[in-house]
């Protein structure tokens, strides 16, 4: 009889917990209308122009995509004014994270460092890659303890993951603090600092906060971005990173040849062209973020400062986060519980469109009444 034999670290693996889906909640509560504010998706949906381009290219689905996605690589190189040799593209940032881990480290020998809590996929994929995970607690206000993180790094640490703005808090460190940290890490010549900027374009002062606007980049840095959030393409899975040339070279050799599908590549190219949609998304998120933060504060919640497209908050005394989460579900509103981040008293809400934001605040007011 067949029996699975697992490496011990795989046997202990806990799967990534995604936000609940609209269909699940519709069925469970017998609702017709469900609002999802759980996975930091785009409040405007998919750009109509991108939809048109996808339809136009539907007939190409029988073809393999061109290996290496040279058109998208070139478009991103032009956007950020870097060499095409520094761009890598994956099936979502998730694939970029996974491939960096698997190509730059040796199992059962190397380590990664990150903050705790952090985006769950870094430690999960590191565990699968057979790595030691060293984590430094965030400060109580969710700002970054760079000195503590630095202390964890040694010759075996091959990747440090940082998220700016951070998930789930929305905190964004001053760029000079980040640069200072990167400089200190450079005394370990085999350690790459991966800065995950999945939410950076929602930051009102992106040009002062992002490393991408401070060229030339330090040579021990990779910066990841995604089309899943502000470009509204989470379902098509497109992520990318600006990395040192030697890292790009090994990445492309190791990546499955066609992991970015032909429609996703066309959609990403079209999304880069549709600047008005991107701008409108950023505008709607900024207005919604200010409105929700002010209203939650008025209701007695503690809202953590965020420059991303979500807000993390806690409830007034004597209210439990789980009760609030369940109440919102019963009203057809899905937000995010943060138990998988070890934050059972915290909740995270994605900024929606004006109608969704109002429905969320109304339900919160009812719950707290
Ligand atoms: C910090 C962070 N990085 C990466 C991702 C994943 O992005 P993608 O959809 O491109 O895989 C997410 C998704 O929620 C995220 O929060």
- Does 309 map to a domain? yes
Torsion of CA 317, 323, 324, 327, to 10 degrees: -150
260 and 310 belong to one structural domain: no
Residue 18 is classified by DSSP as: P
62 and 145 belong to one structural domain: yes
- Does 2 map to a domain? no
Domain boundary among 252, 274, 296: 274
pLDDT at position 359 is 98
Q: What's the CA gap between 199 and 273, in Å, rounded?
A: 19
Q: In a mutational test of the pocket of ligand 1, which residue from 17, 93, 224, 236 has the highest number of ligand atoms less than 8 Å from its CB?
A: 93
Q: Is 230 in the pocket of ligand 1 (CB under 6 A)?
A: no
Q: What is the pTM of this model?
A: 0.96
Q: What's the CA gap between 82 and 222, in Å, rounded?
A: 13
Which run of H or E residues covers position 48? helix 48-56
Measured CA angle at 175 (ends 345, 241), to 5 deg? 85
Measured CA angle at 252 (ends 250, 254), to 5 deg? 70
Question: Which CATH number covers residue 77?
Answer: 3.40.640.10
Q: Is 226 in the pocket of ligand 1 (CB under 6 A)?
A: yes
17 and 163 belong to one structural domain: no
- Does 3 map to a domain? no
Taking the centre of ligand 1 as the mean of its atom positions, its distance from the CA of residue 321, in whole angstroms, is 24
Domain boundary among 220, 242, 274: 274
Q: Is 93 in the pocket of ligand 1 (CB under 6 A)?
A: yes
Contact 82/213 with Cβ under 8 angstroms? no
Q: In a mutational test of the pocket of ligand 1, which residue from 97, 118, 167, 267 has the highest number of ligand atoms less than 8 Å from its CB?
A: 167
298 and 228 belong to one structural domain: no
Taking the centre of ligand 1 as the mean of its atom positions, its distance from the CA of residue 318, in whole angstroms, is 33
36 and 94 belong to one structural domain: no
219 and 237 belong to one structural domain: yes
- Does 52 map to a domain? no
Q: Is 239 in the pocket of ligand 1 (CB under 6 A)?
A: yes
Residue 302, SS3 per DSSP: strand
- Does 294 map to a domain? yes
76 and 219 belong to one structural domain: yes
- Does 321 map to a domain? yes
252 and 170 belong to one structural domain: yes
Closest-CA residue, ligand 1 atom 7, reads: 93
25 and 139 belong to one structural domain: no
pLDDT at position 82 is 96
- Does 267 map to a domain? yes
What's the token pair of residue 205? 């002062």
81 and 162 belong to one structural domain: yes
Taking the centre of ligand 1 as the mean of its atom positions, its distance from the CA of residue 93, in whole angstroms, is 6
Task: For the chain of 369 residues, list the mean pLDDT of each consecutive stretch of 10.
Answer: 87 82 85 93 98 98 95 97 97 98 97 97 96 98 98 98 98 97 97 98 96 92 98 98 98 96 98 98 98 98 98 97 96 95 97 98 97
Q: What's the CA gap between 176 and 119, in Å, rounded?
A: 23
Q: What's the CA gap between 305 and 105, in Å, rounded?
A: 35
167 and 294 belong to one structural domain: no
Q: What's the CA gap between 80 and 242, in Å, rounded?
A: 9
pLDDT at position 21 is 83
Q: Is 281 in the pocket of ligand 1 (CB under 6 A)?
A: no
Closest-CA residue, ligand 1 atom 3, reads: 198
Whole-angstrom Cα Rg for the chain: 21
Q: Is 169 in the pocket of ligand 1 (CB under 6 A)?
A: no
224 and 150 belong to one structural domain: yes
Residue 152: which domain range?
57-274
Total domains, the chain: 2
- Does 51 map to a domain? no
Adjacent-strand bridge partners of 336: 348
Q: What's the CA gap between 281 and 129, in Å, rounded?
A: 36
Torsion-angle region of 83 (φ positive above 0: left; ψ -120 to 50: alpha; else: beta): beta
Q: Which atom of ligand 1 is nearest to the CA of 97?
A: 4
Contact 316/368 with Cβ under 8 angstroms? yes
Taking the centre of ligand 1 as the mean of its atom positions, its distance from the CA of residue 231, in whole angstroms, is 13
Domain boundary among 241, 274, 307: 274
């Amino acid at each position: 009889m067949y029996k699975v034999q697992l490496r011990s670290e795989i046997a202990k693996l806990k799967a990534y917990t995604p936000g609940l889906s609209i269909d699940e909640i519709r069925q469970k509560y017998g609702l017709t209308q469900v609002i999802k504010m759980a996975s930091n998706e785009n409040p405007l949906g998919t750009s109509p122009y991108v939809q048109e381009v996808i339809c136009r290219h539907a007939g190409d689905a029988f073809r393999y995509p061109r290996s290496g996605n040279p058109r998208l690589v070139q478009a991103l190189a032009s956007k950020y004014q870097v060499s095409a040799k520094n761009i890598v593209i994956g099936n979502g940032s998730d694939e970029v994270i996974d491939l960096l881990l698997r190509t730059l480290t040796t199992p059962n020998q190397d380590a990664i460092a990150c903050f705790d809590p952090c985006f769950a996929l870094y430690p999960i994929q590191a565990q699968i890659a057979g790595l030691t995970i060293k984590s430094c607690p965030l400060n109580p206000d969710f700002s970054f303890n760079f000195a503590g993180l630095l202390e964890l790094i040694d010759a075996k640490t091959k990747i440090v993951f940082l998220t700016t703005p951070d998930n789930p808090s929305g905190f964004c460190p001053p760029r000079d603090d980040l640069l200072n940290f990167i400089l200190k890490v450079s005394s370990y010549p085999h350690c790459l600092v991966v800065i995950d900027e999945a939410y950076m374009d929602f930051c009102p002062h992106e040009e002062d906060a992002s490393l991408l606007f401070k060229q030339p980049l330090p040579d021990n840095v990779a910066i990841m971005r995604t089309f899943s959030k502000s470009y509204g393409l989470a379902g098509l899975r497109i992520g990318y990173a600006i990395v040192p040339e030697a890292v790009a070279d090994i990445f492309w050799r190791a990546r499955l040849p066609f992991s970015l599908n032909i429609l996703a590549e066309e959609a990403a190219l079209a999304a880069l062209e549709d600047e008005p949609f991107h701008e409108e998304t950023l505008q709607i998120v900024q207005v919604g973020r200010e409105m929700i933060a002010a209203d939650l504060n008025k209701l007695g919640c503690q809202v953590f400062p965020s420059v991303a497209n979500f807000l993390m908050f806690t409830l007034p005394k004597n209210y439990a986060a789980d009760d609030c989460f369940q109440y919102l579900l019963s009203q057809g509103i899905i937000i995010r519980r943060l138990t998988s981040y070890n934050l059972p008293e915290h909740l995270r809400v994605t900024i929606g469109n004006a109608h969704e934001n109002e429905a969320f605040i109304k339900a919160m007011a009812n719950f707290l009444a």
